[in-house]
Amino acid sequence: MEANILHADLDAFYASVEQLLDPALRGKPIAVGGGVVLAASYEAKAFGVRGGMPGRRARELCPGLIFVGGHFKDYQRLGDAAIKVLGDFTPLIERISIDEAFADVAGCTHLFGPPAEIADTIRRRVRAELGLPISVGVARTKHLAKIASQVAKPDGLVVVDPCHELEFLHDLPVELMWGVGPVTRERLAGIGVNTIGELAKTPGWSLERLLGPAAGEKLNALAWNRDPRKLETQRRARSAGAQSALGRKPAEEQVFVPALLHLADRVATRLRAKSRPGRTVTVRVRFADLRSVTRSITLDQPISATAMLAEIAEALVRKVLVDHPHEKTISLLAIAVSHLEKQSALQLELPLDLDDDRRRPGTRKGAARWTADRAIDKIRDRFGWEAVGYASVALGLSRSVPDAFRELAEKEL
């Protein structure tokens, strides 16, 4: 097989856009955000500044750091324009975020030349037409193309020869792999696995014991570049989620209750807009040491009511805190809803007056919650998001991350 899969990724996108809009910022360490770093330029990353970092810590690492508020409409406009450049070469595009996408160019090489030439043309056009740097990886599989684009950063092009895939892959650090975050990286380092090659040579039973059967099997396959996934050009999201970086806040209900309600409001609003309630609710709690714990529950019926989702998420977070009594600080909370279903109407239930009626969408109490949410949705559609909402959110939560940024980060259903 030939290397026909491209992964294009705009470099330090949000920060690069700010430097494009204000030439005085070019070459200087900048960060988008304030209380929390939303994105950092390469000049700031050289000092150790990273996205999700508290603003105070970022200033300690880089005293000359310049914070900017963010131009979110420009992010969307320029991100769409960059993806459109890919669309001029092939209709087979899988967009996975505002600033990155896969493209399959196997069917257009007779028009535009070999994949490496197409990738180079894309890079030159994005730079000339939009003024932004973009890195592109070209490989035979999606996983390897994404790794190649990371190796190509900043503003580069890497083409992986199918005859030398493992030679390229196995010398790279394991954290470049899809699905290997800080926690997994630390666990692998604990057994002496630091490169993808070392991971490939680790016995399967050892990985499964360390990471679980599913994750162990998946990472072992990717370490040998076994990735049969095709591009999903009409991909529909299998879940909807939102997260909030809190900095360092005490693990107390006056902190996590309003934060969870705000997250539930964002997620449930999107579920209702697409008439796609979900059965499985998952929460993620990240502590001060950046270690994360998740808890999930699968419900009998799919839900999309804000208060219902918030209460279920709150119960899961309380369980996390009970299971980890020594953790006193929370740095991030996240809610996700999966196992989505297409639902055009609410299925009512018999009035049995069960204890959990408030959390069952088809009961009288559950239906009342859903009806109230639909009224809120209509008001927001007409007058804007801030026109109406839940009082505990409006009064109890300091939004260090603008909702405009959150909307960009949250994928459409």
Residue-level pLDDT, tens digit, the chain, 413 residues: 789 999 999 999 999 999 999 999 999 999 998 777 888 999 999 999 988 788 889 999 999 999 998 888 899 899 999 999 999 999 999 998 889 999 999 999 999 999 999 999 999 999 999 999 999 999 999 999 999 999 999 999 999 999 999 999 999 999 999 888 877 888 899 999 999 999 999 988 888 888 888 888 999 999 999 999 898 887 666 788 888 878 788 999 999 999 999 999 999 998 988 888 999 999 999 998 878 899 999 988 889 999 999 999 999 999 999 999 999 999 889 999 999 888 655 565 545 455 565 666 667 677 788 888 889 889 988 887 777 877 655 444 545 556 566 556 554 44
Whether residue 357 is annotated as binding a ligand: the answer is no
Residue 19 CA, chain-centre distance (Å), reads: 24
- Record the tokens describing residue 332, joined without a space: 């991030």
Q: What is the DSSP string of 176-224?
A: GSTT--HHHHHHHHHTT--BHHHHHTS-HHHHHHHH-HHHHHHHHHHHT
pTM for this model (two decimals) = 0.73
- Separation of alpha carbons 309 and 303, rounded Å: 7
pLDDT value at residue 402? 60
- Separation of alpha carbons 53 and 50, rounded Å: 6
Q: At what angle do helices 364-383 and 306-323 cross, to 10 degrees?
A: 110
Whether residue 11 is annotated as binding a ligand: the answer is no
Beta strands in 46-133 (DSSP E): 66-68, 93-97, 100-104
- Active site (catalytic) residues: 100
- Separation of alpha carbons 8 and 136, rounded Å: 4
Q: What is each CA distance from 15 to 50, 83, 399, in whole angstroms?
A: 12, 18, 20
- Separation of alpha carbons 294 and 282, rounded Å: 7
| HSE-CB for 42 with a 13 A CA cutoff | 12
Pair 339, 280: CB distance under 8 Å: yes
**Is the sign of the CA dihedral 223, 228, 234, 236 positive or negative?**
negative
The residues near 73 (Cβ < 8 Å, ≥ 6 apart) are 404
pLDDT value at residue 358? 60
- Record the tokens describing residue 285, joined without a space: 């709690």
Residue 211 CA, chain-centre distance (Å), reads: 21
Helix (H, G, I), strand (E, B) or coil at 174: helix
CB atoms within 10 A of CB 371: 11
Under DSSP, the state recorded for 412 is P
Pair 5, 104: CB distance under 8 Å: yes
pLDDT value at residue 392? 55
pLDDT value at residue 290? 74
- Separation of alpha carbons 330 and 253, rounded Å: 11
The residues near 294 (Cβ < 8 Å, ≥ 6 apart) are 282, 283, 284, 285
